[in-house]
Amino acid sequence: MRETTPNLELVKPGENGTADIKVIDENMGKIDTAIGKPSTLKTIKKVITEAINELHSGLNDVLTESEVSVIIEQERSDQIGELT
């Protein structure tokens, strides 16, 4: 039985195994499928922007625009601080 990686089930050749081009090709297909197109990958910036927009949207229902602006600026500062 061949050993595989836990997440994508990529086939590993093992310590004494040899590299099989067909297996490498299958592994590359699994990786490509799992990652998808680079344009669809979320960056930290996209995730933060979505979180801020969601926060802004929810807060508009209960707070004034001025209060929302203060909270959003604080969130941005906190998020930027975490990234540095």
Asked if the model's pLDDT at residue 57 lies above 70, the reply is yes
Asked if the model's pLDDT at residue 35 lies above 80, the reply is yes
Residue 11: predicted pLDDT: 94
Q: What backbone torsions phi and psi does residue 8 show, to the nearest 5 degrees?
A: -100, 0
Asked if the model's pLDDT at residue 14 lies above 90, the reply is no
* C-alpha span between 10 and 61 (Å, rounded): 47
Cα first-last separation, the chain: 45
Is this prediction's pTM over 0.85? no
The residue-averaged pLDDT of 28-40 equals 85
* C-alpha span between 23 and 10 (Å, rounded): 9
Q: How many H helices and E strands in the chain?
A: 3, 0
Asked if the model's pLDDT at residue 4 lies above 90, the reply is yes
